[in-house]
Amino acid sequence: MTELTSHRTASELADQSLIRPRKVMSLPRVLRLAFLFASSAFVLIPFYATVLGGFKTTGELRTQPFALPQTWDLTYYKQILSDPALWNMMWNSLLYSGLTIFFTMLIASMVAFTFSHIHFFGKKYAYSYLITGMMFPAAVAILSLFIKIRDFGLLDTTAGVVLPQIAFGLAMSVLFFKSFFEQLPKEIFEAAMVDGCGYTRFFFKVVIPLSTPILATVGVFLLVGSWNSYIMPLILLNSPEKYPWTLGLMQFRGQYNVEWNLVLGYITVTIIPAIVFFLLAQRYIVAGLGQGAVKG
């Protein structure tokens, strides 16, 4: 009898200990989740307050910044969205980023291909030369860049903003492209050459179609950079109708200094494209970050 009971309790205990890690949360697990939820709240609350701020009157914003709006006041968002200047700036940003991404990818992938597949004199030097561009920010030469663009007569033009952005985006793109191209199987290249396919055709017909993952990754990084770029257009553009949205936002903030609800609404409208894009493209962003981290 006693033996039986003790046996039962033992098996019960065994069962419990099997189930316990799933059903009852252990202390480390609780602490971990508590930390994760608290820090996520820290990350998200500024977003939350920003998005809601555009629905509140200035008075309500002052007294109730955390609460949901008492009435969802659409007037501020309507005022922002019906402002043609906003759409003009979004369009400008799209134009500058589109051109920057397309030409950076084209030029960088071409030169990276010569580095990975063609032997020529001075290749190492040419490669190191381009790669040094990664080591310093554009800010170090921003004044002389301004003088240069002015001397070329490109101040306040699309080319004047896009060309330097391409030049400063090259280093990182070349690095990514070169290491990807080098990993393409040698057999494809040899087979193509035996079949009489020249370098140029091989690049456009074989290398580029095989490189969509790296094209997407580099493209996403270039887009984040050029869509958010601030200092180059600030120095190189004069007319407000040519401003990208980053400059427009700062100008808007200057105009409506204390009307935080308008400014917050404006911020919300301008960050929505970035967030939507991020949710769609996060796979490639993560892949790009992973590439550097995993490879030894």
Residues within window 60-79 making contact with other proteins, judged by CB under 8 A: 61-62, 64-66
Binds other proteins by CB under 8 A, chosen from 143, 159, 188, 272: 143
Nearest to 285 by CA among 237, 233, 214, 210: 214
CB distance 288 to 217 below 8 Å: yes
Footprint of other proteins on 119-138 (CB under 8 A): 120, 126, 129-130, 132-137
Smallest gap, in angstroms, from Cβ of residue 16 to other proteins?
A: 22
Q: Does 238 bind other proteins (CB under 8 A)?
A: no
Cα–Cα distance, 174 to 169 (Å, whole number): 9
Given 10, 13, 44, 191, the residue binding other proteins (CB under 8 A):
44
167-206: contacts with other proteins (CB under 8 A): 167-168, 170-171, 174, 193, 197-203
Task: List binders of other proteins among 252-291 (CB under 8 A).
Answer: 253, 258, 260, 263-264, 267, 270-271, 274-275, 277-279, 282, 285-286, 289-291
- The neighbour count for residue 3, using CB atoms within 10 Å, is 7
C-beta closer to other proteins: residue 46 or 84: 46
Binding mask 79-118 for other proteins (x = CB under 8 A): ----------------------------xx-xx-xx---x
Selected from 86, 101, 105, 163, the binder of other proteins by CB under 8 A is 163
> What's the count of helices (H) and strands (E) in the chain, helices before strands?
15, 0
User: What's the distance, Cα to Cα, between the start and end of the chain in Å?
Assistant: 64
Report whether 240 contacts 251 (CB < 8 A). Answer: yes
Total residues binding other proteins (CB under 8 A): 96
**Which pairs with CB-CB distance under 8 Å and at least 24 residues apart come from 285-294?**
285/217, 285/220, 285/221, 285/224, 287/213, 287/217, 288/176, 288/217, 288/218, 288/220, 288/221, 291/176, 291/179, 291/217
Least distance from other proteins to the Cβ atom of residue 7, Å: 29
